[in-house]
Amino acid sequence: MLTLKEIENKILQAKRITTEEALYLYQKAPLSLLGSLAHQINVQKNKEIVFYNKNLHIEPTNLCVFHCKFCSYYAKTKDDSWEYSSEDILKQIENKINDITEVHVVGGVHPQWGLSRYVEIINGIRNKYPKLHIKAFSAVEIAFLAKRAKLSFFDTLTSLKEAGLDSIPGGGAEIFHSEVRKKICPEKVNTEEWLEIHKLAHSIGIASNATILYGHIENAEHIIDHLNKLRELQDKSKGFNCFIPLKFKSTNNEMSYIEEVSVVEDLKMMAISRIFLDNFKNIKAYWPMLGRETAAISLHFGVNDLDGTVNDSTKIYSRAGQKEKQEMTVEEITKMISGEGKEACERDSLYNAIGQSTI
Ligand code: SF4
């Protein structure tokens, strides 16, 4: 086993570290070392540029057939639920169309909606807004739709792509290790299915994101195992645009007895992701979940993307206790980035710089 210094040297020589080395580093290295290594790798890949995009979230429903224990989002009662029609969805987009380049559509797994309803949603958006990037439906929704329609994952993805789907978000990954997964979300898409859906999506030109839900009952081994599964798939398929560590929030769910982790753990998570995932170009701090302050600090811990303006259109984290307004203007987001000594750059949904590209 290498010493901490030897692992550090290996990383600085741009050599891939093993899972054992990553675990040792994550458990033993001080935050300052993790941050410094992550920052150096990030600057090598992305200079001092930080991406943001102009986006709108649509959450078509919070009704869900599943009951993940960490979830604050799904409707616990009928009075607490919503279901949007295609017209509602188009109206939400119409109100913001001049301020966005992407729509991000994700929600609960509705007990009655089948594939045709999901195709109708995508089709409606595509027909009215041919140039808008449609990032929609996590592997959780896609797996359920496929099973309900008795179709393969491949055919389901193909139907959605033909309707106008451009990319898929990274939700539903949570923690891949079965020891944790069976405790926090035993009903939903399993690890092999999640990875298979993303692999198939990449094979037909649908890019995707990847996530982890950290800061609850998982341990360091589970985190490194999760990152390793993603690194292995990315080696083969090369279709992940970015990796997004999502922090467990403890309000309004069945795991509320767990205290949220500190900012130190947030920054460790960002840094180890940047260090271990050497085949991911982009690591995102999703500010609506992390909060503006921690997201800003994370720009020094390997992060090069802050997601978007969001336009106060997501309820996922406000229902989980996040008090900050889920909207930033372009001025606010660019000021936040420049305030950290970085250069803000608007991107499209496939991570191409828009405008003043310097990457
Ligand atoms: S995390 Fe997603 S799949 Fe699980 S209960 Fe919440 S909305 Fe449903």
What CA–CA distances, in Å, run from 211 to 14, 238, 243?
Answer: 24, 16, 6
* Residue carrying structure tokens 């303006």: 309
CB atoms within 10 A of CB 323: 8
Structure tokens at 81: 């639920």
Question: Following DSSP, what letter does each residue of 214-281 receive, concatenated?
Answer: ESSS--HHHHHHHHHHHHHHHHHH--EEEEEEEE---SSSTTTTSPPPPHHHHHHHHHHHHHH-TT-S
Q: Quote the tokens at residue 100.
A: 């966005």
Distance from the alpha carbon of residue 326 to the mean position of ligand 1, in angstroms: 20
Q: Is 74 in the pocket of ligand 1 (CB under 6 A)?
A: yes
For 255, residues 6+ apart whose C-beta sits below 8 A from its C-beta are: 69, 70, 184, 216, 217, 248
Q: Are 334 and 344 in contact (CB under 8 A)?
A: yes
3-state secondary structure of 77: coil
- Alpha-helix residue ranges (DSSP H) falling in the chain: 4-12, 19-28, 31-46, 86-96, 115-128, 139-149, 153-163, 178-184, 191-203, 220-237, 263-276, 287-290, 292-298, 330-338
Q: Does ligand 1 lie within 6 Å of residue 71's CB atom? A: yes
CA 144, CA 349: separation in Å to the nearest integer?
25
3-state secondary structure of 342: coil
| Residue 173 CB–ligand 1 contact under 6 Å | no
| List of residues 6+ apart from 50 with CB closer than 8 A | 299, 303, 304, 305, 306, 337, 340, 342, 343, 344, 345
User: Ligand 1 in contact with 188 (CB < 6 A)?
Assistant: yes
Q: Along the 359 residues of the chain, how does pLDDT read in single tens digits? A: 899 999 999 999 999 999 999 999 999 999 999 999 999 999 999 999 999 999 999 999 999 999 999 999 999 988 999 999 999 999 999 999 999 999 999 999 999 999 999 999 999 999 999 999 999 999 999 999 999 999 999 999 999 999 999 999 999 999 999 999 999 999 999 999 999 999 999 999 999 999 999 999 999 999 999 999 999 999 999 999 999 999 999 999 999 999 999 999 999 999 999 999 999 999 999 998 899 999 999 999 999 999 888 877 777 767 777 777 778 899 999 999 999 999 999 999 999 999 754 44
Q: Is the CB of 287 under 6 A from ligand 1?
A: no
* Residue having the nearest C-alpha atom to atom 4 of ligand 1: 68
CA of 327 to the centre of ligand 1 (A): 23
Let me know the angle formed at the C-alpha of 182 by 179 and 58, rounded to the nearest 5 degrees.
120
pLDDT at position 224: 98
pLDDT recorded at residue 358: 47
Output the pLDDT for position 60: 96
pLDDT value of residue 359: 47
Instruction: From 1, 141, 155, 3, select the one nearest 60 (Cα to Cα).
Output: 141
Cβ of 108 less than 6 Å from ligand 1: yes
Residue 166 · residue 206 · CB < 8 Å: yes
> Helix axis angle, 191-203 relative to 220-237, nearest 10°?
20
CB 104 within 8 A of CB 307: no
CA–CA gap between residue 272 and residue 283 (Å, rounded): 11
pTM of the model: 0.96
Burial grade of 322 (CB within 10 A; 0-12, 13-18, 19 or more): buried
110: CA distance to ligand 1 center in Å?
10
What was the pLDDT predicted at 324? Answer: 76
Whether the CB-CB separation of 277 and 283 falls below 8 Å is answered with yes
